Homo-oligomer: A and B are copies of this chain.
Amino acid sequence: MLKRLLKKLEEYKMNEYDLVIRNGLCLINDKFIKANIGIEKGIIEYVGKENIKGETLIDASDKLVMPGLFNAHTHVAMCIFRGLAEDLPLQSWLKDKIWKIESKLKPRDVYYGALLGIVEMIKSGTTAFYDMYFHMDEVAKAVSESKIRAILSYGMADRWDESRAKTELKIGTEFLRKWNNRSNGKIKVIFGPHALYTCSLDFLRQVKTAAKKYNTLVHMHVSETKDEVNFVLEKYKKRPIQLLDDINFLDSNTILAHAVWITDDEIMLLKKREVSIVHNPVSNLKLTSGISEVYKMINIGINVCLGTDGGASNNSYNLFEEIKMTLLLQKYITCKADVLKAIDALKMATKNGYKAYKLKGGNIKKGFLADLILINKKSISLVPMYNPVYSIAYSGYCDVTHSIIGGELVMCNREILTVDEEKIISKAENIANDILNRLE
């Protein structure tokens, strides 16, 4: 009798998780399957049919459950000035507007801009993002308060100035020392040299050495525009990817954003070096940069992720839009409706992001990070649902109801639980007025 009771107690304890999501249609190994999920200490510890118990229970009978989206390239604080300068030729947009605004940006603007963008991301299903900007302490604070997961970099550029190179690397390194692994391990800091037209080769070598020393990754913009490639070709007589390889910059710890203007040879080199690529289709159209032929990269097994880029060149932080856009644009440039499958785009937006940044996430599987979202199956834009993969990939927008990040419930029934959305909106509106005054 006592033995049986002890066994029962053991079973009871065994089944007690921090958080249980019940009866959801869950995206497991690329297919939607009915399952229960048990989460313990931020990690998925159980996936299956058993009637498991948890301290917190979420009924997902009317929901899809999938890994949260990973926005693998953005400048979240730029949210604060999205829509301020539109429909201008690229150079005047940058020089007369964006750089002018940025030169007058205050830490407080970056803090509230980051919070604003983070709330939009959470509400549209993003559970992790990569960010490169300045006043990064403010971004890190916003990340920490909102409890989203983030890979952060101070955006460094030496502009061929040795003393500047030193300062930049110092800021980047100090930021890493201060914030890496903070926020319950949700913040990772990596190095973010800006681009080949703002960083000298010598500086990039130093950054790579520092990244090795701190055992971390490097993220950089590359071949975003034709002008950028022409600049590199003229200056170095080599194409950007070859040039980076020649200075031993490329390996599996490198993530490159954009890669719009690259040749097939460069694609082969990226594959060989196991570099990850971040595709930002909306931003690339808006800035007239072009359309990256990511289907070629995916076909040979390069890890391609998705990003929204910054709010000034998008203007949304909604990764579902990028999923649909990726599928549409790859069909268009190849004239092949089946060039990419919907599930490929979903992977780009989830597991590929986690993989690029060396995190065990992006799948609903024992041992993986509990970064999950719930989507309302009865949302009008998803009905009827012949195959949830198609419904999600082609809706362009999903009614995300819950967000769980590292096992913590961050949004419940569309209400953000960690930060005050109304206050952030009101602060952002005040800052926007202030920015307008500064520009006068």
Contact = CB atoms under 8 A, between A and B. Distances in A.
Contact of A286 (B87, B288, B331, B395): B331
Contact of A338 (B89, B318, B397): B89
Contact of A88 (B286, B317, B327, B338): B338
A149 to B, nearest CB: 19
B286 A83 contact: no
Interface string A122-151: 011000000000000000000000000000
B87 A337 contact: yes
Contacts of A386: 81, 83-84, 432, 436
Given A83-B394, A315-B394, A285 B421 contact: no
13 contacts: A82-B394, A87-B341, A285-B328, A286-B328, A288-B332, A288-B336, A315-B390, A316-B395, A316-B397, A318-B397, A378-B422, A383-B429, A386-B432
Copy total for this chain: 2
Contact of A337 (B82, B89, B340): B89
A365 to B, nearest CB: 25
A384 interface: yes
Interface in A293-329: 314-318, 321, 327-329
Contact of A381 (B282, B316, B385): B316
Given A288-B331, A316-B394, A394-B83, A384 B338 contact: no
A421 B383 CA distance: 11
A314 B381 CA distance: 11
Contacts of A72: none
B89 A383 contact: no
Given A336-B89, A431-B384, A321 B396 contact: yes
B380 A286 contact: no
A336 to B, nearest CB: 7
A83 B396 contact: no
Contact of A328 (B81, B282, B391): B282
A410 interface: no
Contact of A90 (B337, B378, B425): B337
- Enumerate the 8 nearest inter-chain pairs by beta-carbon distance, A residue then B residue, closest first: A384-B432, A285-B328, A83-B390, A315-B394, A86-B390, A84-B386, A285-B332, A120-B380
Contacts of A93: 337
Contacts of A341: 87
A291 B332 contact: yes
A373 B302 CA distance: 45
Contact of A87 (B329, B342, B385): B342
A356 B154 CA distance: 52
A421 to B, nearest CB: 7
Contacts of A290: 332
Given A286-B331, A338-B89, A123 B380 contact: yes
A116 interface: yes
A287 interface: yes
Contacts of A397: 316, 318, 321, 396-397
A78 to B, nearest CB: 12
A383 B428 contact: yes
Interface string A58-85: 0000000000000000000000111110
A335 B394 contact: no
Contacts of A338: 87-89
Given A89-B336, A336-B89, A337-B89, A83 B314 contact: no
A209 B380 CA distance: 41
A387 interface: yes
A119 interface: yes
- Among A328, A338, A425, A432, max chain B CB count under 10 A is at A328
